[in-house]
Chains A and B, each alone.
Chain A
Amino acid sequence: MPHSLHRLVETVEIYLPIADLPVNVFLLLGMGLAVGFISGMFGIGGGFLMTPLLIFIGISPAVAVATVSTHIAASSFTGAVAYWRRRAIDVALALMLLAGGIAGTISGVLLFTALRRLGQLDIVIGLSYLLLLVSVGAMMVAEGLRAILRARQGKPVELRRPGSHTWIHGLPLKIRFKQSKIYVSAIPVGAIGFTMGFIGAIMGIGGGFLLVPMLIYFLRVPTNVVIGTSMVLTLITMASATILHAATNHLVDAVLALVLMVGGVTGAQFGARAGQKMRSERLRLLLGILVLGVGLRFAFDLIVAPDDLYTIRTIGESP
């Protein structure tokens, strides 16, 4: 039996029609499960892990970015449904973020197309990952360590000061968001949405790990609605990124996306259970280490001399 099972695992390769290569279906399912587990554990989409993993197994960065957006749309939908049932979504805020998010996604896909034509897409994806993940990861690790040290010394966890106002609260066009109980300008809301849509389209990440802290620190959105609201934004920006990438660059691989999704949504359920048993500051530290690690991996690729200086990219079949 073990022999025949081994053979089964070895031979079950599926042909990915858009990525145009055969890949072991169990490898893809396993990656979906693993990334899904992590995303459920930390309450994030996991695109920043999935995209690099796909690139690592030989799928071109462009196809990886475009296809992961589909995968994230699926996992954030599952999350959004759960938060909707608990009424933990600020619909008005989500819509306002979306207005910026859609504009950001369109600009991101346009830049993506232009960079691809210039042959510099891979390097931009690599550099963006490097800068974003290393800086965000380092901040998260530092913050996580401080929190753990404070807990060790028996000091109470530092609380947010809801009353304190920053320059953001001085901006015009103020809107009241009832569910979140905040009264802020539409400008930073739209800007945050735009940023998330833009980097999502370029980097193939939903950006939950960025959006949640932004909403908390800049807009003072209460924690009980922040994750649900961020998932709605992620869902819609990633669904529109899927459609736009498919319509302009023909790079979305539906077969690849489906296998990843099935693994992802399943893994997320187990991850969520594991995450509930852990202390939140330890969880944040772990996530920080993970983000930093992936960032450093990209740094390694850019700085160390490549095995092969040459690359070939097909630019179209002749009739």
Chain B
Amino acid sequence: MKRTVRAGIPAACAMASLLLALSALPAGAERLVSSLSSHIVKITSNFTGVELTLFGTVENDQAPVPRNGYDIVVTVTGPRESAVARRKERIFGIWINARSRTFVDVPSFLEVLATRPFENIADAETLRREQVGIANISLPQQIGPDIADVIPNDQFRQAFVRIRHERQLYGEIANGVTFLTPTLYRASIFVPAEALVGNYDVDVKLFADGAAIARTSSAFELVTVGVERFIANAAVDHGLAYGVATAMMAVMTGWFASIVFRRD
């Protein structure tokens, strides 16, 4: 109760604007439907990445299509992992890692696709609230004793996003979603070979006249199959046995070569 009293005026304003938005658009007028071309992606020995297609429609019972049309924002989030970003500095004439920043439980893959540049879809405040774009998605970092995200133009955060972008793991595509008809949309999601195995969430948001009005979500899973999976699992779960087996393999290969190439 206390909190609502203290934040009374802004809350009332927000409520009013929400009511205004709701009255402008009949409640529950639009519903989003989406479907992925595949829900399980298998990584085999010749895996070089995969392109998934997302299809969907805006189901609209009675409301007319807004004047500026609909906008779709698709956010694909991969399994979370922690990572350290390090910055090299010149010390005694050589370049060594000096400062570092730990990113805690950040998405290993993050792709944001939209029908238009984000700033044309909604105002900055709405984009921030709806977490549209990498700058508005939380990338928690260990800063002193706290874990928090920093401002989007922080050096470490920018470098982190840039390096992941170069490896096709993070990205924003302003025209990555296309409307085939006023209500039927399509998007291509590229997942590179480097992507981690695990669950990928696909979050789809519908915007009209600068406001988010509906959302839906889907998911796919990246799984390793066959020998690669066996090897990767064995290396982590049974390190010692894996090491002994690998060393044995080396000795066998060496022994085999000495028989094949024997010259005396």
Q: Digitize A242-272: 1 where CB-to-B-CB distance is under 8 Å, 0 elsewhere.
A: 1111111010101101100110011011000
Q: Which residue of A has the minimal Cβ distance to B160?
A: A312
In contact, B257 and A70 (Cβ under 8 angstroms): no
Q: Report if A20 contacts B (CB, 8 A).
A: yes
* Bound Cα distance A166, B162 (Å): 59
What is the distance, in angstroms, from B82's C-beta to the closest C-beta of chain A?
Answer: 5
A contact residues around B205 at 8 Å (CB): none
* Bound Cα distance A261, B93 (Å): 38
* Bound Cα distance A81, B254 (Å): 9
CB < 8 Å neighbour of B164 from A15, A73, A127, A312: A312
Q: Digitize B229-243: 1 where CB-to-A-CB distance is under 8 Å, 0 elsewhere.
A: 101100110011011
**Which of the candidate stretches B17-25, B59-67, B83-91, B146-154 sits at the interface with the other chain?**
B83-91
Q: Report if B96 contacts A (CB, 8 A).
A: yes
What is the distance, in angstroms, from A55's C-beta to the closest C-beta of chain B?
Answer: 15
* Bound Cα distance A314, B100 (Å): 13
A contact residues around B89 at 8 Å (CB): 309
What is the distance, in angstroms, from A263's C-beta to the closest C-beta of chain B?
Answer: 11
Q: Count of chain B residues with Cβ under 8 Å from any Cβ of A?
A: 63
> Which residues of B155-207 have CB atoms within 8 Å of chain A's CB atoms?
156, 159-160, 162-164, 193-194, 196, 198
**Which of the candidate stretches A99-107, A151-159, A196-204, A299-307 sits at the interface with the other chain?**
A299-307
CB < 8 Å neighbour of B96 from A76, A85, A123, A250: A123
In contact, B193 and A81 (Cβ under 8 angstroms): no
Q: Report if A179 contacts B (CB, 8 A).
A: no
B contact residues around A18 at 8 Å (CB): 231-232, 235
In contact, A11 and B46 (Cβ under 8 angstroms): yes
* Bound Cα distance A70, B253 (Å): 11
CB < 8 Å neighbour of B240 from A20, A243, A310: A243
Q: Report if A164 contacts B (CB, 8 A).
A: no
What is the distance, in angstroms, from B140's C-beta to the closest C-beta of chain A?
Answer: 11
Q: Digitize A23-64: 1 where CB-to-B-CB distance is under 8 Å, 0 elsewhere.
A: 000000000000000000000000000000000000000000
In contact, B247 and A243 (Cβ under 8 angstroms): yes
> Which residues of B68-82 have CB atoms within 8 Å of chain A's CB atoms?
79-82
What is the distance, in angstroms, from A262's C-beta to the closest C-beta of chain B?
Answer: 7
In contact, B250 and A77 (Cβ under 8 angstroms): yes
* Bound Cα distance A80, B166 (Å): 45
What is the distance, in angstroms, from B116's C-beta to the closest C-beta of chain A?
Answer: 31
In contact, A317 and B242 (Cβ under 8 angstroms): no
B contact residues around A13 at 8 Å (CB): 46, 48
A contact residues around B261 at 8 Å (CB): 78, 265, 269
CB < 8 Å neighbour of A246 from B97, B224, B240, B264: B240
Q: Is the interface of A mostly helix, strand, loop or mixed?
A: helix
B contact residues around A127 at 8 Å (CB): 94
Q: Report if B45 contacts A (CB, 8 A).
A: yes
In contact, B97 and A119 (Cβ under 8 angstroms): yes
In contact, B94 and A302 (Cβ under 8 angstroms): yes
In contact, A15 and B45 (Cβ under 8 angstroms): yes
In contact, B79 and A17 (Cβ under 8 angstroms): no
B contact residues around A139 at 8 Å (CB): none
* Bound Cα distance A123, B224 (Å): 33
Q: Report if A239 contacts B (CB, 8 A).
A: yes
Closest 9 CB pairs of A and B: A246-B243, A77-B254, A265-B257, A243-B243, A310-B159, A74-B250, A73-B250, A81-B258, A17-B232
- 26 A-B contact pairs sorted by A residue (CB < 8 Å): A21-B193, A22-B46, A73-B250, A77-B254, A78-B257, A80-B254, A119-B86, A120-B96, A239-B251, A248-B239, A250-B239, A252-B235, A252-B246, A261-B250, A303-B95, A310-B87, A310-B88, A310-B162, A311-B163, A312-B164, A313-B84, A314-B81, A314-B82, A315-B82, A316-B82, A317-B81
